[in-house]
Amino acid sequence: MNHRVAITGLGLVCSQGQDPQAVFEQWCAGQSGIDAHTLGSDAHQLTAAYSLCSDFDAAATLGKTALTTLDRTSQLSVCAAADAWSAAGLAQHCPYDKDEAAVLWGTGAAGGATLDKGYRELFLKNRARISPLSVVLGMHNAAAAQIAMRLGLGGACLTYSVACASSAVAIGEAFWRVRSGQTPVAIAGGGEGQLPYGLLKAWESMHIMAPAALGAQACQPFAAERKGLVLGEGAAALVLEDWESARARGATIHAELIGYASTCDHHHLTQPQAQGQIRALHQVLRQAQLQPQDIDYINAHGTATPEGDPTEIASLRAVLGEHAPRTLISSTKSMHGHLLGAAGALEVLVCALALQNQCAPPTAHLGTIAPDCEGLDHVRGQARQQAMEVALCNSFAFGGSNAVLALRRAA
Amino acid sequence: MPEAQDLMPLLKEALAKYTDAPLDQLGPETRFADINIDSLTMAELLFELEDRLGTTLDNTEEIPSTVGEVLALIAQHSPKSAS
């Protein structure tokens, strides 16, 4: 028997703040959290358009003692997850056996900053050793482990590393566990700390990043003038819960998760291919028993790369058919940037709030739509306030992994 | 070799990075467990002290458990002499 899956708590740390509803309203107003920032350390710095959590004070939230064993990615992750758990009312009173509560978390680079620091010690300063905490701060499962420790959760504690689809996959896999009855409650999401110099140079060398000179408007998905993606740091967490249990305890339900599909293009390491995306979209529609005309809003992967945007639009047009021109679409990466391992979770959070508020946020800075990105109802300028029942969230990653999640308005 | 006590200000400054516990009453008899410094943090603290002192603390057989034990350890390995 399938259980319905409720989203009962949201947690967020991003460049524009930590209050999900307040930040959502900024996105609806088209406000960008992106800016030109100087990143890196010591003699190795570069300036890039980036979405930086400049106001995030980890010590104030977590205490100085805890910071010793938390890389930036883990700091962001623990704060978002703790906020979501508390927002769901579970910090105050948890009716579930916490040993059955799962943590499913996504990250791309995990504790890369810790490793970068260690390498600088070894190779630049010729130190004989590096920090004894390097392994436990740098390991990919550090954030998930820290979340489980902080909240006392004893179920499956898993980390998914699927590039840009990491946290969408984490949420999807958590969805399956709650839906099947395997676990009554799960924290799912993702975190990505500010990339260290080495990783930033790695991204820069692919020539797909928008120029820093464009500042807040650097990320322009679907625009004819789009110049590439803008990276960012942050974390987003959702509490997924068995619907009936959530209702019974009077929890606020932001939205219902109704479907998840994951496919692989098996085509190219960086170039997306429509067939893989189309299969994922079809799968999620079948699973959630939806018809193309049932989709009201799509939060696109929309990274503003030359190839990615038109491929996604082509996939959506193929699946939506004659209903495409009436389907709302936006890429909120235009405002919060591409949070890599945390991107999927952040964008599912956007969808949940869009359905709760009955308001689709825009793609910011969308002047002229590129001809190969036409065909859907692009939300631009201000948000579109209208009745919406179903939203889709797309994550299409390097390596060809695709993850699509479907949400329904809580009713 | 510097006196262990002369290194107390250095130790306090390093400790302040790793604990929120008040350090004004810190003395040689203070146990690290009582100021929220566990074994993982201790390993990191010793690494940082190596950095600040420009020395290497040889693999110790026993992890120091009190402030006095750390002061003695770093006094033993410190290349600088007290002024």
B44·A65 Cβ contact <8 A: no
Phi and psi for A76 in degrees, rounded to 5?
A: -60, -45
Q: Are A267 and A186 in contact (CB under 8 A)?
A: no
Q: Are A377 and A300 in contact (CB under 8 A)?
A: no
Which pLDDT value is given to residue A338? 98
Which tens digit of pLDDT belongs to each residue from B19-40? Answer: 888 888 889 999 999 988 888 8
Q: Using pLDDT thresholds of 50, 70 and 90, give the confidence band for residue B17.
A: confident
User: If you average pLDDT over residues B8-27, what whole number do you get?
Assistant: 87
Which pLDDT value is given to residue B38? 85
Q: Does A205 touch chain B (CB under 8 A)?
A: no
pLDDT tens-digit profile, chain A (411 residues): 899 999 999 999 999 999 999 999 999 999 999 999 999 988 899 999 999 999 999 988 898 878 888 999 999 999 999 999 999 999 999 999 999 999 999 999 999 999 999 999 899 989 888 898 999 999 999 999 999 999 999 999 999 999 999 999 999 999 999 999 999 999 999 999 999 999 999 999 999 999 999 999 999 999 999 999 999 999 999 999 999 999 999 999 999 999 999 999 999 888 888 999 999 999 999 999 999 999 999 999 999 999 999 999 999 999 999 999 999 999 999 999 999 999 999 999 999 999 999 999 999 999 999 999 999 999 999 999 999 999 999 999 999 999 999 999 998
CA angle A185, A188, A189 (to 5 degrees): 160
Which pLDDT value is given to residue B78? 73
- Tokens matching residue A362: 């825009």
Least CB–CB distance from B19: residue in A64, A129, A132: A64
pTM confidence score: 0.94
- Alpha-carbon gap, residue A318 to A291, rounded angstroms: 13
Q: How many CA atoms lie within 13 A of A130 on its CB side?
A: 18
Q: Are A319 and A285 in contact (CB under 8 A)?
A: yes
Determine the residue type at A184: P
Which pLDDT value is given to residue B77? 80
The CA-atom distances, in angstroms, between B10 and each of A67, B33, B54, B79 are 20, 19, 13, 14
Active site residue A94: no
Q: Using pLDDT thresholds of 50, 70 and 90, give the confidence band for residue B83.
A: very low
DSSP class of residue B2 equals: -
Q: Does A65 touch chain B (CB under 8 A)?
A: yes
- Provide the terminal-to-terminal Cα distance of chain B, rounded to the nearest Å: 10
- Provide the terminal-to-terminal Cα distance of chain A, rounded to the nearest Å: 21
Which tens digit of pLDDT belongs to each residue from A55-66? Answer: 999 988 898 878
- Alpha-carbon gap, residue A14 to A23, rounded angstroms: 9
Closest B-chain CA to A63 = B20
Which pLDDT value is given to residue B60? 63
B57 vs A230, residue with greater confidence: A230
B47·A129 Cβ contact <8 A: yes
Active site residue A267: no
Task: Select from A328, A339, A297, A248 the least CA-distant residue to A14.
Answer: A339
Q: Which residues contact A406 (CB under 8 A, 6 or more apart)?
A: A257, A258, A259, A260, A284, A285, A287, A288, A290, A390, A391, A392, A393
Q: Using pLDDT thresholds of 50, 70 and 90, give the confidence band for residue B2.
A: low
The ipTM, to two decimals, is: 0.77
Which pLDDT value is given to residue B79? 64
Q: Which position among A28, A53, A79, A301 bears the catalytic label?
A: A301
Determine the residue type at A329: I
